[in-house]
Amino acid sequence: MIAVTVAVLAVVLLVLARSRLRLIEVDGVSMMPTLNDGQRILAWVGRSPRLGDVVVFAMVPRGLPGDPPWMIKRVLALPGDPVPAGLRAVVGGDVLVPEGSMLVLGDNPRSSDSRGFGYVSLTSVLGVAPGRRRRS
């Protein structure tokens, strides 16, 4: 009886984990040295991002056909946070990040990120990579 209970509990936990976790393969060098091309990371689906978190999100509109479906970047600013002076021209002169948006940066200085495409919608976030948060 205990073995059956443990087996059922294990199946339930596995189903819950699979619905809340996604395995994502890094495609590119924009997050080097933190993440390398081809490396796989877990993303917690449904967790709200915080400053410094590494997030997986859909870039809309997407670039070229064949581009990866997800982008992986680090959260620089969330709604209500100040827009860094160097990004104000990119986002139309905003001083604060508007509701429903965030700014992201790649760890590689040559990354394609909010310095080029501006805000990312919070609704486009698939999940947050656990254990990858940068401490201030």
54 — phi, psi (to 5°)? -90, 125
Number of residues written out for the chain:
136
Catalytic residue status for 121: no
Catalytic residue status for 30: yes
Query: Within 13 A of 34's CA, how many CA atoms are on the CB side?
Result: 21
What is the spatial distance between Cα 90 and Cα 106, in angstroms, rounded to a whole number? 16
Catalytic residue (one of 19, 48, 73, 124)? 73
Catalytic residue numbers? 30, 73
